[in-house]
Amino acid sequence: MNIDELQQVLTMGENEYVEFKRCSNNPGSDIFETICSFANGFGGTIFLGVEDDGVVRGIEATKVLPIMRNIHNVINNPNTFDIPIAIGFEHIDTGGRQVVKITVPNSPQVHSFKGKVYIRKADSDTVMRGSIPLAELYIRKQGIFTERRVIEHVSAEDLRADLIDEARKLARIKRKDHPWQKMTDLELLESAGLFGKDYTTGKRGYTLAAVLALGKDEVIRSVCPTYKTDAIARIADKDRYDDRLTITTNLMDAYTLLASFCRKHLPDRFLLEGDQAISPRDIIIRELMINCLIHREFTSPSPAKVIIDPMGIHTENASRASFEGPLEPDAFAPLPKNPTLSSFFCHIGLAEELGSGTREIFRCSHLYTGREPELEEGIVFKAFVPTQPATEEPPGTTADPDDTIANILKLAERPEGLRTAELVTNGRSSRTAQRIIHDLVEKGLLVARGKGRQRRYHLP
């Protein structure tokens, strides 16, 4: 990294991936807390010799090596870190003094510093408390597929036979010679991976995936009590909602209910693709609802959410992510969250190959409105697909005040200035907001004042 690249980072300020530390001759505990939280999260970068507000103080060249040696010794000391963390160092010359860049990778392990597990929230390091968040962190780190857990006392009577018949019928519609047609119910479930042996425990039986996909409601409530999907239409009544649907039933019926709810509240626009009429809306709904239902982490107590407002459709669901950040259709490596459920829904024609859903959402969003969707991976997967064309304002509203440079600058005229959080609206991700701010600062249209969370942007 050169000085110009460093300046770009300083302009953006601290965030969930970047931390500034002044650093004296002896690195303080706060540096190691950040190293721990980055390793437990999705990685990050620490810049030593930089104030919280981005002002470079630098470190004397003679002090750099002892500081690096000190940090290396602490993270390899079993009395401070239970598991060592592999980090990288880089020196950046700032004219007589140096900034030390520490790169902390996303670790496959869960780490603790002085007996405490730290995680990154926004631009701060916090101690993880509670057994459920800690269990979720271990699941994400260890790559455990909780859908494959065998539920020992579930029997065939706890599943809905009519749903198994429905799955067989849908599979036949997708493929006339599908092998499920000649199988018994148990053979079908074994073929789909919904019944079998857990070779880590030796137990044999129906899996969590079987219960969620085909189980009776009372069985699902008992086995997975936190499983829930909330759907809200907030179009005319913005303070509460116009319509609401709470779903705790099996995934097959849940998909039908959610898709119907979305079609009820979203405008349709049929288009010709070649000589065939298609509904981009219905394709978007299918991909978003399937993602909410089958690509989620079912051990999380957080319900999945579907919110429809005048700007578009927003979804959120707990995820077992391997990275954090925006998804682009041609620049991501899809990883299965629940491969058994994904395969089952592929067989019945409600899902496609891994990664195709993301590409379909981008393709159909362009057909639907001419606008880009926003998909952001993380501990919570977030999606936003606009439903109003780029040239069309939502009914009953005026133009979004932060959609034009002029209005952004108008917000910055206020005595209190502009916060980045004010741009994180209507589905815009924090990274998009930061990019907008960065571009305006680079052009000299805004200046940053304040430190950390108190940072505001003003006119120069």
Last residue of a domain, one of 96, 129, 162: 129
Are 66 and 114 in the same domain? yes
As for how many domains the chain has, the answer is 4
pLDDT of residue 402: 43
pLDDT of residue 392: 47
- Kindly state whether residue 139 falls inside one of the protein's structural domains: no
CA dihedral over 280, 281, 287, 290, signed as positive or negative: negative
Are 88 and 10 in the same domain? yes
CA atoms within 13 A on the CB side of 192: 33
- Kindly state whether residue 258 falls inside one of the protein's structural domains: yes
**Angle between helices 339-347 and 161-174 in degrees, nearest 10:** 60
DSSP 246-303: EE-S-HHHHHHHHHHHHHHHS----EEETTEEE-HHHHHHHHHHHHHHHSS-TT-SSP
Range of the domain at 210: 146-223
Are 201 and 182 in the same domain? yes
Are 42 and 86 in the same domain? yes
pLDDT of residue 430: 59
CA atoms within 13 A on the CB side of 260: 9
pLDDT of residue 169: 96
Are 235 and 377 in the same domain? yes
**Which DSSP helix (H) or strand (E) runs through 3?**
helix 3-12
- Kindly state whether residue 276 falls inside one of the protein's structural domains: yes
Are 362 and 251 in the same domain? yes
- Kindly state whether residue 295 falls inside one of the protein's structural domains: yes
Are 204 and 242 in the same domain? no
- Kindly state whether residue 380 falls inside one of the protein's structural domains: yes
- Kindly state whether residue 107 falls inside one of the protein's structural domains: yes
Going from the C-alpha of 450 to that of each of 21, 240, 447, 455, 459, the distances in angstroms are 15, 36, 10, 4, 14
Are 212 and 266 in the same domain? no
CA 430 to CA 420: how far, in whole Å? 8
Last residue of a domain, one of 99, 129, 159: 129
pLDDT values of the chain reduced to their tens digit, one per residue, 460 residues: 888 888 888 888 888 889 999 887 788 899 999 999 999 988 889 999 999 888 888 999 899 999 999 999 999 999 999 988 989 999 898 888 899 999 998 888 899 999 999 998 878 899 998 887 887 788 777 766 789 889 989 999 999 999 999 999 999 999 999 999 999 999 999 999 999 988 777 889 999 999 999 999 999 999 999 899 999 999 887 778 899 999 999 999 999 999 999 999 999 987 877 777 889 999 999 999 999 999 888 878 789 999 999 999 999 998 877 667 787 776 656 667 888 999 999 999 988 766 688 889 999 998 899 888 999 888 889 999 998 886 544 444 444 444 457 778 888 888 888 877 677 654 455 556 777 787 788 788 888 887 555 678 888 8
- Kindly state whether residue 261 falls inside one of the protein's structural domains: yes
- Kindly state whether residue 138 falls inside one of the protein's structural domains: no
pLDDT of residue 426: 46
